[in-house]
Structure 1
Amino acid sequence: MIKINFFELKNGLKIYYLFNPNSLISFLQVWYHFGSAQEEAEKNGIAHLIEHIFFKGTEEIEETEYSRLIQREGGSCNAFTSEEKICFYETIPTEKLEMIIKMEADRMKNLKITEEKFEKEKKVVMEEFKERIQNQPIVKPLMEVRKDVFGDHPFSRDPAGNIETINNIKFEDVINYYENYFHPKNCTLIIVSSKDFEEAKEIIEKHFGNIEKKGKIPLPIPPLSKPAKEYVEKKIPIKATVFSKTYFLPKKEEFFFPLNLLHNLIGGDEDSILKREIQEEKFYVLQAGTFPFFSNSGTLFLFFSLHLPFIKKYNFLKKIDDLYKNKIKEILNDKKFEELKGRMAFSLLSSLNGSEKIGLYLADCIISRGSPDHFFNDLKNIENLKIEEVFKTLEFLKEAPSCEVLLKGSLWKKI
């Protein structure tokens, strides 16, 4: 029987441990509850910069050795920064789990931040921004649209920051942020391993229990209640045109499975409504679909279309309206509903194959959705989902605050 063991150290560090006897691999995630939405606006990008510096050594580990030590043991490591969190994660043979735990505790407590490292990584982050965002003709306008859609909400800031805000970051800022937000009480460990729990608990207490570092708990992020604008229109330096419509919904667990089912029905699966219509209108529609985004601050549901305007205007608004009024009710009968539920159940079961997949799913339940109980209840909740709940969510969705975005390609014309 699968069991999730939870315990909390005296210094406030929270640990979720899932024993997985069927794998020789352990998967460790270290979640710091601080992201780009909690930065000072003028220092946007500092969380991502600190993520980079975390790989540049401590008093015990040389600057270039962190990743190499893990790779020598047959493991891998990586990290990412989002609006709400920073996550460091490692996959390692179970007999080397203590090595990883020790290394993570070491960099929580003893990260060696020098001005030389700071300046070097600052340049790396700026070059990364130029390559991935500034020099990409479609990405830069999308970042500008983000500000139009979210307005003064902290989600208007991209985790990567921008050239101006990254330039604003000083060496002392990095030191202060590291001391303030990278401490046990602002951190959650999630481990999936074949190591005996009591043995693992002893190892965690040994390496993390003596960290007395204290800091701040970030202020809560305001809820995503509505967009700053209802309509945004911009020109983009590519030939294709992009249209999207984003709905803002409150954070409610009751939306989770109905929205995922609607996503698969409308635009997520290869045989979804929009994907089939692309095949029928293949001469001018390049891509169309949907995307649900779940966060602690709220829920977004996005419709999008990429099309060739010089052949024919793709009237996406009309299609969305038609979906609400006719298409979904025509297609979503009891048989289709059970088929979509079956696919969701299969996808969930597929995520329980291997320590890494189990760990990612468990983290989604705990970090994004707020409770490890979802890990055990999701399959039953899919089975118990009623078609009426989906239609109720659909009605709520179409009345929710929304923002339409039209990014006009260089060949745009109204037809």
Structure 2
Amino acid sequence: MGCFRIDLTSPLELIFYALSLLQAYRAVQLAVSIQKDWSGFRQPPLTPRKMQMVESASFLLAIPPSVLIHEYFHAIPIWQFGGRVVNCGYGFYWGYVQPDRFFPPTQEWIISIGGTVGSLLFAAVLFAFLNWNKSRTLRYFGRQSLRMLLHFSLIYYPIFTALTFIGDWRIIYDFRATPVLSGATAVVHILILLLFWQANRRGWFEMVGHDSVEDAEAFAQLQEQRRLNPHDAQLTLQVVDAMRQGGAPHRAISLLQQAIRQNPNVAGFYLQLALLQHGGKGNVPGTAVRNLEKALQLGLSDPRQQAMAYHLLGQHALDKGQGQEALDHLDKAIRAVDTWTETPINPLFRANLYHLRSLVQQRLHQPELARQDAQRAVDLAQGTGNERAAAFYQQKLEMIENWNGRR
């Protein structure tokens, strides 16, 4: 466009350029890493490492061309309406164009929304082009790029505009100047976001990763077996577990919800659904709690499964300040672990149970029992050789001892 310049007097513009250059440096590093093993990157299997690289690339490598097209789609209507672009900037992850004059409200709206239309067209074309590629890695890049570009264009950018009053959306949603066009945009915007939310919720953007070609082939065979035997609960749980381990939790949740509708009396379905809803994170959500209670109600025959269910219920009750209920759940979890003799239980899982129970006992003013359980957690962690876990539980033990010493 022949207009590019940097305003050295604008602190905000300089900050944007500095941040963009940092991201661009990361993008170059990633691109070089991919290029060095381009053949291996494209070849199967889609490994967890490749998935991580693709997810980074969906931002670092897909956003810069999208921004460039975004700005050109601003410039096109400016030219069509007889104007000129007198100033512009491009910082890889942000940009702007400045026309030579003001336009009537309808034309301003068209100029402003043109950028978003360009970004969405780029996302659609990139996805359509890669979705037919033989490489699962490149198909995954197409899906993740579509997800990222939709998020960037329709969620992040409008929020950024609302908070800073900088950007296209202040004009797109200027209801006083263009009430009909802004209202129609809001309806379409909401519909696209609902579709995006549903697609994301159902795992449409996800793919299942594998460590080896053999693992990928075994998963394909497992899926085929389940397709032929859709009511086989054990096959369903195996597919779900493979999806979870392969980095496709939403697909696993969607499959479990479908399986529950077909067969609502399988306790293992509800337990696995609860574990996925929790996701190994901090607080246990209410939906997971209800599914754990349903699983126990239907009957979990495996003591390990019982321990996992009572563990999360105990953690939930502890977070809610329900001390006695938390203690009851954790007692049951520890008893379930103690009854399992077939294969060794992960000592760190045991350690966490004792750690949580020590916290509950401390709240229930049972200092000696709390100290004993905290010591058990330390001993179990030290037995694994995991220095980080041992240090964590040792710190918790010392806190309990110090707190009780001050009483």
TM-score range, shorter chain: under 0.3
TM-score, length-scaled by structure 2: 0.25
TM-score, length-scaled by structure 1: 0.25
The structure richer in helix per residue is 2
The structure richer in strand per residue is 1
Q: Which has the larger radius of gyration?
A: 2
